[in-house]
Amino acid sequence: MMHRRDFLATGLAATAAAALASGQTTDAKPAKHQFKLKYAPHFGMFRNLAGDDPIDELKFMADVGFTALEDNGMAGRPVELQKKIAATMERLDMEMGVFVATGDFGRPTFASGDSGMADKVLADMRAAVEVAKRVRAKWCTVVPGAFDIHLQKDYQTANVVELLKRCAAICEPSGLVMVLEPLNHWSDHPGLFLSEIPQAYLICKAVGSPSCKILDDLYHQQISEGNLIPNLDRAWSEIAYFQVGDNPGRNEPTTGEINFKNVFKHLHAKGYQGIVGMEHGVAGGGADGEKALINAYAEVDSFEA
């Protein structure tokens, strides 16, 4: 005869097995993945699974296999928290991805040639160098501001190049690399100066510094120009960093139209050793959505090397 306690235990085990088979939620911790590329989540991406404390979330990220972190807002965090995050990442053997060094989405900070705006940009870059030292960051994001409607585009490009040369001179002694991010006009950021990979390639070639490279955000470039793999091949010498988000929706891979499995296979075959920033939302809600996000990365990372 089966005792009630044994019956309950057997029943619970059967229920859990059935839930797993049907894809339903259980309280089981997500498995640890051995990713081929260095995918970097943001804080808040796993708040339901890991809680709101950034240190706990870092530990969770490492536990499920992520080896890097992005934090656009790192420069605005208290210095002591920056140091704590860096120490935790060092213990977990995680790399720091980009943080935003300077970016204005309304004013022509780079394109106008205005000396006051330039002074603010240069101050931002000096501060970014110090943040990078504290958090062991190799890259920082630079958004060269809005298009100046009062100047022809070639004059604006010359202004952008000259100011970037001054920024690069600040970054070079420490080895910090500015990555210029083209952003799409059509869905998210109308009116910005920099929007396409060929444009960023031209600018980086003109600046001619190892501290001035491209951040290729494949979400933005799918909207702006498509042709993702040929464009990254053509601009390869000037690309230092990638970010991703599927389109439409700007959520995790597999939720939109981009074949990220092929794109990631291509990056891996080219020997890319850098970080792939997960700059996107979570398609599903709650813990289930966060587990689905992890599984999506496992799926698109499952290409044959």
> Residue 182: phi, psi to the nearest 5?
-70, 135
Cα 95 from Cα 171, distance rounded (Å):
19
CA pair distance 280, 181, nearest whole angstrom: 15
What does DSSP say about strands 139-143 and 177-180: parallel, antiparallel, or unpaired?
parallel
- Categorise residue 31: left if φ over 0, alpha if ψ from -120 to 50, beta otherwise: beta
Distance CA 136, CA 253 (A): 28
Backbone angles phi, psi at 171, to 5 degrees: -80, -35
Reduce the secondary structure of 39-97 to three states and give it as a string: EECECCCCHHHHCCCHHHHHHHHHHCCCCEEECCCHHHCCHHHHHHHHHHHHHHCCEEC
The catalytic residue positions are 181, 279
Residue 240's alpha-carbon distances to 15, 125, 303, in angstroms, are 48, 18, 22
State how far the Cα of 109 lies from the Cα of 193, in Å rounded to an integer: 10
d(CA 66, CA 59): 10
Cβ of 148: how many Cβ atoms within 10 Å?
20
